[in-house]
């Protein structure tokens, strides 16, 4: 396992792999690794000659009042976990290494970023695309891996790869859940014991919404059922629960085949997201 801290070190590592005609599987992360990340890393290793992970808490995707400073950081732990699943290198740059120039060019994420998480986190997806595009240029991966838990992020990155012609395949892996259904997330560690007990109701509400949608073909009824469940079983504050087409993230209609039901709920001060897919079931 190699830990690469500079762009020069990363470029040397990539050049050697390209020289040897090796395929590169890439897992971008912000660290605080959990089983979801490790599932991505295992797939990257299994499907490519070498696997590399980035660990970088990207400041440009956090809003001014978000948890950038508090975001959990433990590189030694992350490197040990990445090593345990066969990752060959970890790229862990400083903020100054990634963003040495102020006021540089930004990517505008477009319509898909104006809704769901984008509505309450303005500029978030512009920051995600900024760092992901930089990482794609630096790592030149054959295939890059993302978790379906961040369904909106996945949809927007798919659009960037398509529109900017990145010669990169995307591997999208299913959500990894705790035994009680809570989607694994680095932010789960912020939850108190009482909040942790409430958190699985987000997934329960999404399952209920899926059942209502399949039975009634009524998106509003599905959202209403999920809202009622969350309000009855948690003290959380709903940011959104929405039924949308996927991956374009538009209103569903009779022609929609792939439906995303997505939710963001504040449990205490922790904002948790989750989603569920309904194929051919929405309408």
In the numeric block, the tokens 């309904």 are attached to 278
- Binders in 10-49 for ligand PAF, by CB under 6 A: 28-30
- Binders in 141-160 for ligand PAF, by CB under 6 A: 150, 153
Task: Round to whole Å and give the CA distance between 209 and 229.
Answer: 9
- C-beta closer to ligand PAF: residue 58 or 188: 58
Q: Which of 58, 159, 270, 275 binds ligand PAF (CB under 6 A)?
A: 58
Q: Compute the least distance from the CB of residue 150 to ligand PAF, in Å.
A: 5
Among 271, 248, 274, 273, smallest CA distance to 259 is for 248
- C-beta closer to ligand PAF: residue 60 or 256: 60
- Residue 131 in the binding site for ligand PAF (CB under 6 A): yes
Active site residue 201: no
Task: Round to whole Å and give the CA distance between 212 and 14.
Answer: 49
- Residue 128 in the binding site for ligand PAF (CB under 6 A): yes
Task: Indicate the DSSP class of residue 176.
Answer: P
Task: Round to whole Å and give the CA distance between 118 and 172.
Answer: 20
In degrees, to the nearest 5, what angle opens at C-alpha 104 toward C-alphas 98 and 107?
90
Length of the chain: 283
Which DSSP helix (H) or strand (E) runs through 25? strand 24-29
- C-beta closer to ligand PAF: residue 30 or 225: 30
Give the total of residues touching ligand PAF (CB under 6 A).
10
Beta bridge partner(s), residue 145: 171
Q: Compute the least distance from the CB of residue 71 to ligand PAF, in Å.
A: 10
> Of 16-24, 125-133, 192-200, 232-240, which segment contacts ligand PAF by CB under 6 A?
125-133
Task: Indicate the DSSP class of residue 174.
Answer: P
Q: Which of 37, 124, 201, 229 is catalytic?
A: 37
Q: Compute the least distance from the CB of residue 225 to ligand PAF, in Å.
A: 29
Among 245, 265, 248, smallest CA distance to 256 is for 245
Chain residues in the site for ligand PAF (CB under 6 A): 28-30, 58, 61, 128, 131-132, 150, 153
Q: Which residues are catalytic?
A: 37
């Amino acid at each position: 396992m190699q830990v690469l801290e500079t762009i020069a070190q990363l470029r040397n590592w990539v050049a050697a792999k390209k020289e040897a005609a090796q395929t590169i599987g890439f897992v971008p992360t912000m660290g605080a690794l959990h089983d979801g990340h490790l599932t991505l890393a295992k797939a990257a290793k299994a499907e490519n000659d070498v696997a590399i992970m980035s660990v970088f808490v990207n400041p440009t995707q956090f809003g001014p009042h978000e948890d950038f400073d508090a975001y959990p950081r433990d590189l030694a732990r992350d490197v040990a976990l990445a090593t345990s699943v066969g990752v060959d290198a970890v790229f862990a740059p400083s903020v100054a290494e990634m963003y040495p120039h102020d006021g540089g060019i930004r990517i505008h994420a477009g319509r898909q970023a104006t809704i769901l998480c984008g509505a309450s986190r303005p500029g978030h997806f512009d920051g995600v695309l900024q760092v992901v595009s930089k990482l794609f240029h630096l790592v030149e991966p054959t295939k890059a891996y993302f978790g379906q838990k961040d369904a909106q992020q996945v949809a927007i990155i798919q659009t960037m790869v398509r529109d900017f012609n990145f010669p990169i395949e995307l591997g999208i892996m299913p959500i990894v859940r705790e035994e009680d259904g809570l989607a694994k997330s680095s932010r789960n560690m912020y939850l108190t014991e009482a909040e942790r007990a409430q958190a699985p109701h987000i997934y329960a509400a999404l399952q209920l919404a899926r059942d209502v949608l399949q039975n009634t073909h009524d998106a509003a009824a599905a959202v209403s059922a999920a809202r009622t469940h969350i309000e009855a079983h948690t003290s959380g504050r709903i940011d959104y629960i929405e039924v949308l087409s996927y991956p374009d993230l538009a209103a569903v209609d009779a022609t929609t085949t792939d439906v995303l039901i997505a939710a963001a709920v504040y449990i205490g001060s922790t904002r948790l997201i989750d989603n569920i897919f309904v194929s051919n079931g929405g309408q």
